Chain A
Amino acid sequence: MVEMNEFQERARTLVQGESLGYDQRLRRLAVLATDVLPYPAISAACREALEKRVICDMFEGHAPYTARYILPDYEKAIRQGLSYLELPPPTDLDDAISFLQIMYGHVPSVTTYPVYLGDLDKVLAPFVDSELADEELDRKLRRFWIGIDRLIPDAFAHLDIGPHDSRIARSILRVERSLRQSVPNITLKVDPALTPDDLIEDAVRTVFETGKPHFVNHPMMVADHGERYAAVSCYNSLKIGGGAHTLARLNLKEVALRHSGSSDEFLDQTLPNYVELTAELIEARIRSLVEQQHFFDTHWLAAEGLIDIERFSAMFGIFGLAECVNLLMSYDGREEAARYGHNAEADAFSRRIVERVAELVAARPMPYCNGGAGHCYLHSQSGIDLDHNVTAGTRIPVGDEPAMFEHITTCAPHHRYFASGISDIFHVDETAVRNPRALVDIIRGAFISGMRDFTFNLDSNEFVRITGYLVRKSDLVSIADRGSARHGSDFLAAAAENEFHLTQRAVKRVGCHERDPR
């Protein structure tokens, strides 16, 4: 619980925060307010791990009153209308767009902005027929896009397209290339059997312009979540009509630092101990949300059947795998092997760690998590602006990545364990711009080798992916110059940029994650 004078100090810093706009102050104050309430009951060991930041609650506040990631069933909403918002089902494209825009303003999340905007090619499909010319469709979507960027200035707002080709998907990519906004974030679902090369290539050209979309392995996602899933926020894959109550993450580097003994003892004792503490935290936060704040009993999305607690789970995140592996290799006296991403022994051990975490998480029952068959989803968590000297998720440290093929072969074996997303980012140099088909080849190959999701970042791109979200370089410069930015996520970027030196990374990058609301 935050003491009164600390609370005052933090509130004052926020209200006087010169680099924060009005609504950014407002939103951060709201998070601060719940910190004066008691934290959900957890054991002393769990509290200590939280305070020492071995585990991290993502600063969701002490009394969660919204699920962290919510994926409303927009298709259903469009079909049945919204009684809470007194909106009948839309009958044409203009109606549908304004329907969605209104609805977005009422979808809760820990950032206050919706993290999922819909699988828009499917949601809008009933309103686009051959009567509507492409130019007209582009014009309407363009207006919609500008509205999204200005009303939801948060790079975690995310929409999905694919795996089927469609006029809407093509129009979305055209609008993206012409507007070059950092919001919304986009995922293309790729099914090697259904998605034509030509659509993937169109998406690759869009990556060259805007750093988007992200690519997901559709068949692999469907196997884990069923057809109704989406990638949201910084590449968290969850069930549509569901979502994630919360996300807590375990810093594997810190766990390794608290371990003495062999790597087998790490897997048998130390790791299970901290996995359980993380699970304890997650359970306490879920119970607080569901049983104390009664989120699902009170929210209209649940009442109207647009979300269903049965399709929710929680996200169990890990990060700092690289440092963890390297530390354990050196504890075992094998300094020469302490180089994850470059040493076969280190890579093999990294797989044992991930496998062990997956096994432990799958064996730990979690209440209200039927979306994950009663367990958390595993997530490779990509970092927030407070992380120093620790590598995001299961990635290879920034600047130390091997060539792309070796990079993919090191990372791919981890992907199957992370049902709620892992998102590696590959850095490509400018020569690829003249040969987008080369990236289509790499995308197909990466999916064949078992990758779940990833994106590309272009060296010279105006957009830069910080830990998972996208900002324009010019916006970062403007924070440095003027001390103020329009998008909420830009501040995180400015901080993450300083911690990670991400824009200097050698030959590729990876992406994912959230916010420190302080």
Chain B
Amino acid sequence: MKGLVTNTIKFSTVDGPGNRFVVFLQGCNFNCVACHNPYTIAVCTDCGECIPSCPTGALTINPSGAVLWNESVCNGGDTCVSVCPYDSTPKARYTEVADLLADIRPVAPFLSGITVSGGEATQQTEFVQSLFAAVKADPLLSRLTCFVDSNGAAGPETWQALVNTLDGAMVDLKCLDPEIHRSMTGQPNDMVLAGIRQLHQLGLLYEVRLLLLAGINDDPTLMRRTADWLADINPAMRVKLIGFRNHGSRPHDPPLVEPSNESLLSTADLLRESAPFDVCVI
């Protein structure tokens, strides 16, 4: 079973509980204005436009027209990513579950678990499911917990398919208001809201993440409604407030604004006043 993997990180302290190995999958069904790693959104079309930009000759096109990336000469400078007109990268690779396991094994003694992030993990549910199942079946890895980091836009069948191998999900809620949500992501939020509820019912909701953009989705009234909606699901929910950062995101007109530290902290207070959430601000 192969999945389209953008890259992996051996140690991460920010992708779920404990130290985690993170697999980033290429491709996303949202197109968020505030995406911090927009090059993971689209699958490479093999258009070849990035090839001449590479200073080290790491990119070539093969006779059947596929763009190939030679990791051993790549300098990691990401010129290709910055010139790609389609929010993609030539460096994502179709990777076997077995190859990922081979990468995870030496790191396993240092981990609480693995997290599949993206891109959007649930765009490759079958692959995620077989990766998790393989982890659970491997005697050296079976103690590792398996998490996904998701935009939440996956139907009930997705979570049902993962229920036996998934240990926890971290889900983004871009905005409770459907119109604002659509303007931020290009998609409605009904599936996200249903997914959060379903994951909680399955006992798999680890945390909900609110990414705040100043003046767009951080209005106090909206935040209070969001808090009430979340509290109705689980008043002790772990809620992570993430302030939007321009670094890594695409330019936007008018420019997107980073929320101030004070406004993040006051949003956190507002959430805590609504329910005994476990709020964490980053």
- Tell me if A124 counts as interface (CB < 8 A to partner B): no
Check: A485 CB closer than 8 A to any chain B CB. no
Inter-chain contacts of A441 with B (CB < 8 A): 18-19, 110-112
Q: State the CA gap A448–B143 with chains docked (Å).
A: 15
Q: How large is the interface on B (under 10, 10 to 19, 20 to 34, 35 or more residues)?
A: 10 to 19
Q: Cβ of A435 and Cβ of B17 under 8 Å apart?
A: yes
Pick from A405, A440, A444: contact of B10, CB under 8 Å: A405
Is residue B13 contacting chain A, with contact meaning CB distance below 8 A? yes
Chain A residues closer than 8 Å to B17, beta-carbon distance: 435, 437
Bound CA span A440–B109, Å: 11
Please determine whether B18 and A438 come into contact, CB atoms closer than 8 angstroms: yes
* Chain A residue, CB-CB nearest to B240: A434
Q: Which of A421-471 contact B (CB under 8 A)?
A: 428, 431-432, 434-435, 437-442, 444-446, 448-449
Question: Counting CB contacts under 8 A, is B11 at the interface?
Answer: yes
Residue in chain A with minimal CB distance to B110? A445
Minimal beta-carbon separation of B175 from chain A (angstroms): 24
Interface centre among B19, B20, B111 (most CB of A within 10 A): B19
Are the C-beta atoms of B112 and A437 separated by less than 8 Å? yes
Q: How far is the CB of A461 from chain B (nearest CB, A)?
A: 16
Name A448's closest neighbour in chain B (CB-CB).
B109
State whether the Cβ of A222 lies closer than 8 Å to any Cβ in chain B.
Answer: no
> A438-B19, A442-B19 given as contacts; is B14 within 8 A of A431 (CB)?
yes
> B5-32 interface mask toward A, CB cutoff 8 Å, 1 = contact, 0 = none?
0000011011001111000000000000
A440–B18 CB distance below 8 A: yes
Q: Which residues of the other chain, A, contact B106 by a CB distance below 8 angstroms?
A: 409
Cα–Cα, bound, A409→B109 (Å): 12
B102: CB under 8 A from chain A?
no
B1 at the interface (CB under 8 A from A): no
- What residues on B are CB-neighbors of A428 within 8 Å? 13
With the chains together, A438 CA to B18 CA distance in Å?
4
* A438 & B10 in contact (Cβ 8 Å cutoff): no
A404 at the interface (CB under 8 A from B): yes
Tell me, rounded to whole Å, the shortest Cβ–Cβ distance linking A474 to chain B. 24
Interface pair B18/A403, CB less than 8 Å apart: no
Can you identify 30 A-B contacts, CB atoms within 8 angstroms?
A403-B11, A405-B10, A408-B110, A428-B13, A431-B14, A431-B282, A434-B13, A434-B280, A434-B282, A435-B13, A435-B14, A435-B18, A435-B19, A437-B17, A437-B19, A438-B11, A438-B19, A438-B20, A438-B112, A439-B13, A441-B18, A441-B111, A441-B112, A442-B11, A444-B110, A445-B19, A445-B110, A446-B110, A448-B109, A449-B109
The chain A residues found within 8 Å of chain B, CB to CB, are 403-405, 408-409, 428, 431-432, 434-435, 437-442, 444-446, 448-449
